[in-house]
């Protein structure tokens, strides 16, 4: 089993920044692709970003491209999401996810493990 714990959310003014963290523990030797999703009130959970385990490439939803950056510290088994230039539309619960796979996907069904989420609230 793999456990994922997100942190770093909070209340921030529009234009501000946050750095979200996702710490993995347990049988982490088998997980490779990591992803971030978010779910705003009344909306479905949507994909935000992910990494490719084959070459480390990173991918972003159009709505966050240029403002969000996914990165990882393999020594600490932690994945980060740096989020800049926040707008109220970024208000959501942010989730990290991991998969037992050699490939990545934008589909939620691809991912085997999920964190409990961290709330990001952006005030105007």
pLDDT in tens, the chain (124 residues): 889 999 999 999 999 999 999 999 887 765 678 899 999 999 999 999 999 888 889 999 999 999 999 998 888 889 999 999 999 999 999 999 999 888 889 999 999 999 999 999 999 9
H or E element that contains 114: strand 113-114
Cβ-proximal residues to 24 (8 Å cutoff; 6+ apart), any chain: 2, 3, 4, 31, 77, 78, 79, 98
* CA–CA distances in Å: residue 37 to residues 33, 70, 92, 111: 13, 12, 9, 11
Question: Other CB atoms closer than 10 Å to residue 77's CB: what's the count?
Answer: 17
List all residues 6 or more positions away from 117 whose beta carbon is below 8 Å from its beta carbon.
6, 39, 93, 94, 95
Please name which of 96, 73, 75, 105 lies closest in space to residue 8, comparing C-alpha atoms: 96
Nearest to 17 by CA among 8, 4, 6: 8
């Amino acid at each position: 089993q793999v456990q994922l714990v997100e942190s770093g959310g909070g209340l921030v003014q529009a234009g501000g920044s946050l750095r979200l963290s996702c710490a993995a523990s347990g049988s982490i030797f088998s997980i490779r692709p990591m992803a971030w999703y978010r779910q705003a009130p009344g909306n479905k959970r949507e994909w935000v970003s992910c990494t490719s385990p084959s070459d480390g490439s990173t991918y972003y939803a159009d709505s966050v491209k240029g403002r969000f950056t996914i990165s990882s510290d393999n020594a600490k088994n932690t994945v980060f999401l740096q989020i800049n230039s926040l707008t109220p539309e970024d208000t959501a619960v942010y989730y990290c996810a991991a998969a037992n796979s050699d490939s990545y996907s934008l589909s939620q069904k691809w991912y085997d493990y999920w964190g409990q989420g961290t709330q990001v609230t952006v005030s105007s």
